[in-house]
Amino acid sequence: MDELSAVTDLLYGPGTPMSGLSLTDDEAMAMVRQRFPFTEFCLVRDWLWLDLVVTPAEREQLSRTGRQPVLVYAHGVVYDSARRWDVGDFVRTSPLHVLHGEGLFQTWSTLYVLLGEGQRKRVALEMVGRIS
């Protein structure tokens, strides 16, 4: 499979269905502001949960820095409290720091609120660099 086909399959091919939060955009915003009043957050839809294929050494390095080998790629930003992305932009997160329950994916800097349905996929670390 050539590189373009591999990226296209990653972004648009089938994955394992995964549920995020079943909230409206306004309900999600209110919930985040109540539960995490001092945290930057980003509401996203049409997202991919990416389990990274890493070596034991890479896994250990992530663990030492309080991160896990998981990223989220979202096709649709709904709202970004820090105004880094506009509505409709795509976003690729940094590695997972804390999972606060279904649909609440936190990196070191941002809480990503996964709204609606998404997909889970396993991906090589090298491939992640191709979707930035």
Per-residue tokens: 103: 């649909």
Name the residue ranges covered by the structural domains of the chain.
3-131
Higher pLDDT, 33 or 13: 33
Mean pLDDT of the chain: 93
Whether the per-residue pLDDT at 122 is higher than 70: the answer is yes
Burial of 49: CB neighbours in 10 Å, binned 0-12, 13-18, 19+: buried
Torsion region of 103: left, alpha or beta (phi above 0 gives left; psi -120 to 50 gives alpha): left
Query: Stretch 96-104: mean pLDDT, rounded?
Result: 94
Least confident of 47-51, 112-116, 124-128: 124-128
| Mean pLDDT confidence for 108-127 | 94
Residues 61-84 have pLDDT tens digits of: 999 999 999 999 999 999 999 999
> What is the spatial distance between Cα 111 and Cα 18, in angstroms, rounded to a whole number?
18
